[in-house]
Chain A
Amino acid sequence: MRFFEYESRQIVAKAGIPVSRHGFATTPEEARRIAEEIAGPVVIKSQVLTGGRMKAGGVKFADTPDEAAEHAAFVLQLEINGHMPRGVLVDSRVSVKQEYYAGVVWDGIRKQPVMLFSDMGGIDIEEVAETHPDHVGRGWFSNLTDVSDYQAKQVIASIGVTGAALTRATPILTRLAQLFVERDMTLAEINPLAQLEDGSFVAVDAHMDMENEARPRQKQLLKELGVGDEETRQAREATPFELAGEAVDAASHRGVAGNVTEFDGNLGLVIGAGGGSLTLFDAVRAHGGKPANYCEIGGNPSVEKACGLAKLVLQKPGVDKIAVMMSIVSNTRVDIVARGVIKACVELGYDPGEKIAIFRIPGAWEDEGFKILERYGVEYCDRSVSMHEAARRAVEKIGVAA
């Protein structure tokens, strides 16, 4: 889940990292009051969960409290990429000697967090990494053991930072790495990390993304930030189709029919099993298929749940057929899923043999499942047929249908 900048600043500050003086305002009057307290030039920044604020006019500079209020009034009603701001951040304009970048991100290939540090802050780190790779220091660390200053120091020193700057930046990167682990972040970024004229460092902007599944573990933090359980913080609002998917999942405690995501293709997908969903979704696309949805079934769902999900997908406008595919299942039962998807077809008045393009779920109780599929004339395959081949067959069938 994503955090607004004003929340990210709080998270950073709680970790003991200095931040520039700032306040969060939801009205021009509040913005004026904060600017008065700061008693100097300020920046008014729109609080939206999207990029491109500066370009859209969501960042304004003010020299006086009156100007701050005036800009806040403008920014508060400014929609950016379809998002209305939650409020504005009133931030002091610090006198910067040099901008750095400090970040920690999860490296999915190494399966470890990686610390990043650059002396070219204020711009996208991806851009710096591409154009000036020698200006980006990297250091992987274990999220099972404590992070030490020496690890951060090595990363910063690797790009040639020395002396007082190295000494002062080191604990900041260490604390950022610690908060990344302790707060279950997938991204913790300070950009820019500003070195002021007096040599001290402050975080001028911060970006935090937390693992969605960590919400229960981070309840206290979310409470302190005022983030309610109802706030999903997804990149976009869930569609009615996706909300209906959540309802299907919630209706029965057995198994999972999760992460139902809407796409605009004609091949409905009932897919899952330990990463199988992503593999199968990609396989369908690789063969030129157009998925109507993504989903993840598993954990031995009830017939009701498998049926509910299949019905939802079958009824989605534009869906011609569904493909029911998983990798090899051990917990989920093949026969139960087969019953569910066939029941969905029958109850909607469809011939399962026509509507189910392919059924490829090998594993527990597959013999029983295959009996059911044979009974209803559904094409199925066992583990001797790869997921990619099953996806190809499904795409081929829908191609013929179209």
Chain B
Amino acid sequence: MPALFINVEVDEQVAQDPALAAKLTEVCPVDIYAQKGDGTLAIVEENLDECVLCRLCIDAAPHGSVRVVKLYEDGSVLQS
């Protein structure tokens, strides 16, 4: 079942960067991010609703490139 409460949007440039993908994977306390075999970023769909709105991913990526969307609040966005 798709996430009910949270979605994350990551710019393609960030998602394709193995170094940034590793950083996002490391900072997320609830494992929303992972790295694929080639090092690029994967979003772990089943963990999206576990997001604790900590902003660590937003702060780890370049300005505005990671956005956390609150689906329960008419799509309001957390971003840097």
Contact = CB atoms under 8 A, between A and B. Distances in A.
Interface centre among A302, A303, A346, A376 (most CB of B within 10 A): A303
Interface stretch (A168-176, A266-274, A289-297, A336-344): A336-344
B74 to A, nearest CB: 9
A157 B4 CA distance: 69
Interface string A308-347: 0000000000000000000000000100100100110011
B4 A346 contact: yes
Contacts of B4: 339, 342-343, 346
A50 B7 CA distance: 54
Q: Tell me the dominant secondary structure on chain B's binding face.
A: loop
A304 B4 CA distance: 13
Contacts of B45: none
A102 B52 CA distance: 54
Nearest to A339: B5
A302 B50 contact: yes
B49 A371 contact: no
A375 to B, nearest CB: 4
B53 A303 contact: no
B49 A343 contact: yes
Interface in A206-242: none
B75 to A, nearest CB: 12
A347 B49 CA distance: 13
A346 B5 CA distance: 12
B70 to A, nearest CB: 8
B49 A375 contact: no
A372 B1 contact: no
Nearest to A300: B52
